[in-house]
Amino acid sequence: MEQFISAFLKGASEKNFHQLAKEFLPQYSALISKAGGMLSPETLSAIHKALQEGKLSDVMSQIQEAIGAAENAVLEVAVIGESGTGKSSFINALRGLSHEAEDSADVGTVETTMYKTPYQHPKYPKVIFWDLPGTGTPNFHTDTYLDKVGFANYDFFIIISSSRFSRNDALLAQKIKDAGKKFYFVRTKVDSDLYSEEKTKPTTFKKEKVLQSIRDYCLANLNDIGVTEPRIFLISNFDLGAFDFSKLEETLLKELPGHKRHMFALLLPNISDASIEIKKHFLQEKIFLEALKSAAVSFIPFMTFLSGFDLCQQEQCLKEYRSHFGLDDKSIEEIAKKLNIPLEDIKGQLKCSDFWSLVKDDSIIAQARSAAEAFCAIKGGPGSSVIQALKVYYGHIQFLNVVVDDAKHLLRKMETVNVA
Ligand SMILES: Nc1nc2c(ncn2[C@@H]2O[C@H](COP(=O)(O)OP(=O)(O)O)[C@@H](O)[C@H]2O)c(=O)[nH]1
Ligand SMILES: [Mg+2]
84-137: pLDDT as tens digits: 999 999 999 999 887 677 777 788 776 655 678 999 999 999 999 999 988 887
* Ligand 1 proximal residues by C-beta, below 6 Å: 81, 83-89, 107-108, 188-189, 191-192, 236-238
Tell me the C-alpha distance between 270 and 276, whole Å.
6
Position 381 scores a pLDDT of: 46
Which pLDDT band, with edges at 50, 70 and 90, does 388 fall under? confident
Question: 10 Å Cβ neighbour count for 242?
Answer: 17
Question: How far is the centre of ligand 1, averaged over its atoms, from the C-alpha of 238 (Å)?
Answer: 9
184, 231 Cβ separation under 8 angstroms: yes
**Using CA positions, which residue lies closest to atom 14 of ligand 1?**
86
The domain spans of the chain are 75-238, 304-420
Atom number, ligand 1, closest to the C-alpha of residue 106:
16
pTM of the model: 0.91
Atom of ligand 1 nearest to the CA of 111: 19
Question: Long-range contacts: 11-17, Cβ < 8 Å, 24+?
Answer: 12/56, 12/295, 12/296, 12/299, 13/299, 13/375, 13/378, 13/379, 14/378, 15/54, 17/51, 17/52, 17/53, 17/54
Q: How far is CA 320 from CA 16, 87, 316, 325, in A?
A: 37, 29, 6, 9
Is the pLDDT at 312 greater than 90, yes or no?
A: no
Give, in order, the Cα–Cα distances in Å from 39 to each of 35, 78, 92, 389, 405.
12, 25, 29, 21, 27
Ligand 2 centre from 241 Cα, in Å? 22
State pLDDT tens for residues 137-170: 777 888 888 888 888 889 999 999 999 898 889 9
**Whose Cα sits closest to atom 2 in ligand 1?**
189
Q: Is the dihedral of CA 132, 136, 140, 146 positive or negative?
A: positive
pLDDT at 38: 95
Phi/psi class of residue 355: alpha, beta or left (left: φ > 0; alpha: ψ in -120 to 50)? alpha
CA distance linking residue 94 with residue 121, whole number of Å: 8
Query: If you measure from the C-alpha of residue 380 to the centroid of ligand 1, how many angstroms do you get, rounded to a whole number?
Result: 65
> For the domain bounded by 75-238, which CATH number is listed?
3.40.50.300
261 vs 152, 254, 256, 288, CA distance in Å? 19, 8, 6, 16
Q: Are strands 182-187 and 117-120 parallel, antiparallel or unpaired?
A: unpaired
Give, in degrees to the nearest 5, the angle at Cα 386 between 383 and 391: 130
For residue 113, give the ligand nearest its CA: 2
The pLDDT tens digits of the residues spanning 348-381 come to 999 998 888 888 876 766 766 676 666 655 554 4
Q: Would you say residue 412 has pLDDT above 90? A: yes
Atom of ligand 1 at shortest range from CA of 90: 15
Helix and strand element counts for the chain (H, E): 18, 6
Q: Would you state the pLDDT for residue 192?
A: 95
Mean pLDDT over residues 330-350, rounded?
92
Residues lying with their CB under 5 A of ligand 2, a single-atom ion: 88
